[in-house]
Amino acid sequence: MKEGPDIAQIGALIGDPARANMLTALMGGKALTATELAAAGGITVQTASTHLAKLEAGNLLAQRKQGRHRYFTLADDSVGKFLESIMGFAAGRGHLRHKPGPKEPALRKARICYDHLAGDYGVRMLDSLIARGAIDSIGDGLALTESGETALKDIGIDVHALKSSRRPLCRSCLDWSERRAHLAGSLGKALLSNFLEKGWARRAAESRSVVFSPEGERQFLALFPATK
Amino acid sequence: MKEGPDIAQIGALIGDPARANMLTALMGGKALTATELAAAGGITVQTASTHLAKLEAGNLLAQRKQGRHRYFTLADDSVGKFLESIMGFAAGRGHLRHKPGPKEPALRKARICYDHLAGDYGVRMLDSLIARGAIDSIGDGLALTESGETALKDIGIDVHALKSSRRPLCRSCLDWSERRAHLAGSLGKALLSNFLEKGWARRAAESRSVVFSPEGERQFLALFPATK
DNA sequence: AGGATGCTTCGGTTAGGATCGAAGTATGAA
DNA sequence: TTCATACTTCGATCCTAACCGAAGCATCCT
């Protein structure tokens, strides 16, 4: 039939376990070297190198040379969003891993989705923002309200600066673990950065999970109360 | 790393060209037999049979036995939406087919996206509905307004009946050719059915493209004027 | 019953690509 | 310069899975 774009190509790119693991590792938002990605994929550096070349040729990855290191990141945030949506789809279809692993609960609670907060806490934050009228929503669509803008200023986020960026302020991103939307876009990124700067939370070393400090958790939960 | 759902599995399912072509064929919304899908994939029935078994095991397809035929469809509309989003992503990353083929322009103009209208005409319709205030939108989110409900009643669509269904009324679906949103959901489906019933358009035989009659095209363009 | 059609299962072949060892290139350090 | 580190390229191996011919079921028609 050969109609439309070639979905088999990207399917094949994502379809290899080693490549999928490397992409998942890059969802953490950090730039990683080829050696680190090889470890993430469970393969040697040689093999990783060919995989990375293919992913780059497919425009899924971007590369930045720095000295003798070569740092890889997802090509842009749309790739991250796309990967998260695949995860949501996969989880919904029962394509889970054989053994959930010990880190799974932490991931479900709070994790990084490329550059913003996801998991239970990410969903809770968005729900709470909507409930208090800081964000309007229709279906999947999100928009910051006037009152929301001032509320965020109190938290310490310069909404005005974010608005000047080309990137959309609010985007919804489907959370694979909660199967609900969480907040992406430049605002989602700014909020996560804010929490990390304040020391409320930190990124786990070798994982995408986000670990809250006891005090940070208290503050976060107070700032974003449960809805209903 | 082994974090989260197994995206490699669905990637691999979609990553085979024969399977991708069969899935694309099913985006036409019609239930197809194994023999028809074999032709769509460019393979023999034996091979197609094993592919179809895999796709079904992966919960991407549903199967309905009818006499000695076996009709396959996409498991549900979320699969269709997912495939269209992959097409959009693929097109955005430059993953196009080598030769666009003669049917390409017709596809870009108007085609079926599982059960609703997509392509230039699909995008035009949604834009027009938003412009006249029949549908509210925030970002990707869509909602039918009061005035929109009466307007659709005039066209001949029983919105009340649609509302009772479990399926969402309005959904936005990213159009791969236009790279903009078009209208999905039960309302999108109802509108397309309405056009087909009225004889404004018909489905092409072996393709996903939708062919408008001269009169139907006139009516459609008048009903959904361009929004500058 | 007998024959035709639609599809699946089995068996064997083949090709693509994932893999790694070894060698080659680039950058930095001593 | 010499050595070490980070990465890529080359070459060869090996394995999976896509593929089809042939045979086996199931259903329908006459």
Query: By the CB < 8 Å criterion, does A35 face chain B?
Result: no
Using pLDDT thresholds of 50, 70 and 90, give the confidence band for residue B103: confident
Kindly tell me if the per-residue pLDDT of B99 is higher than 70: no
Mean pLDDT computed over every residue of chain B: 94
Q: Name the minimum distance, in Å, from the CA of B49 to any CA of chain A.
A: 18
Interval B105-158: pLDDT, tens: 999 999 999 999 999 999 999 999 999 999 999 988 999 999 999 999 999 999
DSSP B28: T
* Residue A75 pLDDT level (bands cut at 50, 70, 90): very high
Q: Is the pLDDT of residue B94 over 80?
A: yes
Q: How far, in Å, CA of A196 to CA of A205, rounded?
A: 14
Nearest CA of chain B to the CA of A103: how many Å? Answer: 8
φ, ψ for residue A91, nearest 5 deg: -65, -40
Q: In the predicted model, is pLDDT for residue B227 greater than 70?
A: yes
CA separation for the pair B168, B89 (Å, rounded):
24
Q: Which residue is nearest to nucleotide D21 (CA to C1')?
A: B46
Q: Is A137 left (phi over 0), alpha (psi -120 to 50) or beta?
A: beta
| Alpha-carbon B145 to chain mean position | 24
A6: left (phi over 0), alpha (psi -120 to 50) or beta: beta
Nearest residue to C26 via alpha carbon and C1': A68
Q: Are B97 and A25 a contacting pair at CB < 8 A?
A: no
Judge if the beta carbon of A52 is closer than 7 A to nucleic acid strand D: yes
Tokens 């999100």 -> residue: A142
CB A149 within 8 A of CB A132: no
Counted residue by residue, chain A has a size of: 228
Mean predicted confidence (pLDDT) in B195-217: 95
Going by C-beta distance under 8 Å and a sequence separation of 6 or more, which residues neighbour residue A115?
Answer: A29, A77, A80, A188, A189, A192
Closest chain B residue to the Cα of A144, Cα to Cα = B138
Query: What residues of chain A lie within 8 A of the CB of B142, using their CB?
Result: 138-139, 141
Contacts of B30 (CB under 8 A, 6+ apart): B73, B203
B221 vs A4, residue with greater confidence: B221
Nucleotide nearest to B19 (CA to C1'): D18
Averaged pLDDT for residues B48-74: 95
A226 phi and psi angles, rounded to 5 deg = -65, 145
Q: Could you give the domains of chain A?
A: 7-75 (1.10.10.10), 101-223 (no CATH)
**Distance (Å, whole) CA B190 – CA B162:** 8
Exposed, middle or buried by CB within 10 Å (0-12, 13-18, 19+), for A56?
middle
Is residue B1 scored above 70 in pLDDT? Answer: no
Chain B neighbours among A 151-190 (CB < 8 Å)? 168, 170-172, 176-177
Residue A159 tokens read as 């909404």
Tell whether the model's pLDDT for residue B22 goes beyond 90: yes
* Residue B64 Cβ under 7 A from any strand C atom: no
Residues 6+ apart with CB under 8 A from A151: A132, A134
β-bridge mates for residue B145, sequence order: none
Confidence grade of residue A104 (pLDDT, cut at 50, 70, 90):
confident
Cβ partners under 8 Å of residue A196, min gap 6: A202, A203
